[in-house]
Homo-oligomer: A and B are copies of this chain.
Amino acid sequence: MIGLNRDVVVLRIGHRPQRDQRVTTHVGLTARALGANGMFLAANDAGIVTGIGDVSTRFGGSFFVQDGVSWRTCIRKWKESGGTVVHLTMFGLNLPDVEEQLQKIERLMVVVGAEKVPGEVYELADYNVAITSQPHSEIASLAIFLDHIIGPDALTKEFSNASIRVIPTARGKCTKGP
């Protein structure tokens, strides 16, 4: 298992500023909650950066969001620095068939597309991985991928510097903080 002390980043591509704001926010918040270090966004969208930043301010941790990156440069630099790139796509190899290999990788970039992904991404990625070969959701795919690859720690991560904490409870809502 990679565990929470390794480098896992998400690269979100194909984001259209108006239409994809909610879905991309879900992608970023999912990455944060499950222990990724941060998200690169291959589009300019300050609203996403601010929105996820607000959650981090309240709920803690050091998740970064950087918008306006070029996906090609971002992938190239990651690979040049020794990192591995996994592209999530329903056309890839199914997760159960490759997860053992992927769990051993120390620096992982997970590429998450929207509806149309350029063919070049399939070539640049070290692995194209499917979370089932069915059409569903990039948010669901990222969630299951991180849970499987980061391991059991992903669901129990503690966030430092949180000003608000949720106390798990059987009924209702219980929080600690302002």
Interface residues of A (CB under 8 A from B): 22-23, 26-27, 29-30, 32-34, 55, 59, 90-97, 119, 122-123, 127-128, 130-137, 139-144, 147, 152, 154-157, 159, 165-175
Contact = CB atoms under 8 A, between A and B. Distances in A.
A24 to B, nearest CB: 11
A27 B137 CA distance: 8
Contacts of A29: 134-137
A137 B134 contact: no
Contacts of A91: 166, 168-169, 172-175
B174 A137 contact: no
A78 B156 CA distance: 31
Nearest to A97: B168
A26 B137 contact: yes
A172 B130 CA distance: 12
A154 B136 CA distance: 13
B135 A34 contact: no
